[in-house]
Each structure stands twice: as structure tokens, then as C-alpha cells.
Structure 1
Amino acid sequence: MTLELYKEVALTLDLSEYQLKAGDIATLIDFVPHPTGGENGCVLEVFNAVGESIAVVTVPVSAVEALRADEILTVRSLAQAS
């Protein structure tokens, strides 16, 4: 599937520095080229369950995937770093 701007995507890896886990949903807000010719990136905005923005992160394109019709959303608590 092709990734589209302003569509929801799922993370494929954990981002512990942001308390995000593989499977978390984010909105793809931009594509960015790698500054030294490596893998291009995606800028994502992450929202909590009530629609409040909680993070904006940049990840490699390979760290996200389009949502599929055979998937179901779930809810988890955002664990606070200790």
C-alpha cells in the first residue's frame, strides 16, 4: 500500500523516547529527504484517544505502514517514564 499524506499509519517499531510502541497509530503529515542520502523519513503527529496532540516525531519510511481493513484499533495507557 502507498503511504498518503494526512492519513493514519501504524508504527512498526517502538520509540521508547516518546513512549510509543509498534502498532500505535499516528497521522502522516510530511515526507522528508534524508540529509546524507539515506532512507527518507516521515513526520508523524501522534494523538491521544481524545484527539489531543501528544508528539510530533520523524521516523524512517520503513518504520510506518498503512492501515489495513483487517486490523482493529485498541487502547493502551501512555506509560510515564520513570
Structure 2
Amino acid sequence: MKFNLFTEVVLREDIPKYGLKKGDLATIVEHYLMPESEEDGYSLEGFNVETITVEVAESQIEPVKASVSLAN
């Protein structure tokens, strides 16, 4: 799945190097096109860690699922 810049995504897995956990929210700030045989990459920002940009593979993120609010 290709993501647009500034899309909010969640991590699909932990990234222990930065203390990030599966389900953490972030925003895509850069997209790295890779050759056809390799997976595209993305830079993410907005974690609860200031001044950090994390590079991830496309398979490590997924779109935020909108929650549905039921009106009474």
C-alpha cells in the first residue's frame, strides 16, 4: 500500500531502538521510492519522542482506522 505525505499511520511492530511500540501513532513526512525488487520506505515523525524521525519500511506501518461513534 502506498501512503501519501502527512498521512497519519500506526506502527505494525515494535521498534525497540527508539522505545516505540506497535500501535504508536506517527505522521509520514517523507517517502523513499525503492527499486521494484525492494520495499519503499518512509520517514515518520510525531511520536512521544521529541526531535526524532524514524525511517521504516512500508510493511511496518498501516493506516489509522477511523473509530466509529454511534449517536444515541
Cα pair 1:47 1:54 within 8 Å, conserved = no
Match of 1:66 among 40, 63, 66: 63
Q: Which has the larger radius of gyration?
A: 2
The runs of 4+ residues in structure 1 deviating greater than 3 Å are none
- Length-normalised TM-score, structure 1: 0.68
CA RMSD of aligned residues (A): 2.5
- Identity within the alignment, %: 37
Task: Number of aligned residue pairs: give it.
Answer: 68
| Match status 1:53 vs 2:41 | no
- TM-score, reference length from structure 2: 0.76
Deviations 1:14-37 (A, max 9, x none): 0000000110001100111337x4
Using the TM superposition, give the Cα deviation of residue 55 of structure 1 relative to its aligned residue in structure 2, in angstroms.
1.8
Alpha-carbon distance change, 47 to 17 in structure 1, aligned in 2, over 3 angstroms: same
Where structure 1 has 5 or more consecutive residues not aligned to the other structure, the ranges are 72-82
